[in-house]
Amino acid sequence: MNNCKILRRPAVRAKTGLSDSTIYLRISQGRFPAPISLGGRAVGWLEHEIDEWLEARIRDSRGPNVSKAGE
């Protein structure tokens, strides 16, 4: 994990469009990547995990038979 970027909560909110309460609800349900401890009360999310989660949501919403734009 050499190129590992950590996102703090405001960046996760901006990237996903989810509120804090929705993020933490989905974490508790096992439906969103869990944060990692940065020490003290600080937490962050691995950017690649958030990106993978978003890509999965896009795939799920588009279905297997929808072509990509420009194809």
Cβ distance 54 to 46 under 8 Å?
no
| DSSP per residue, 2-46 | TT--EE-HHHHHHHH---HHHHHHHHHTT-SPPPEEEETTEEEEE
pLDDT score of 22:
98
Q: List beta partners, residue 36.
A: 44
Sequence ranges of the domains in the chain: 6-62
Give the number of C-alpha atoms closer than 13 A to the C-alpha of residue 45, restricted to the C-beta side: 23
Q: Which residue would you say has higher pLDDT here, 70 or 13?
A: 13
Provide CATH code, domain 6-62. Answer: 1.10.238
- Reported pTM: 0.82
Summarised one tens digit per residue, pLDDT across range 5-36 is: 999 999 999 999 999 999 999 999 999 999 99
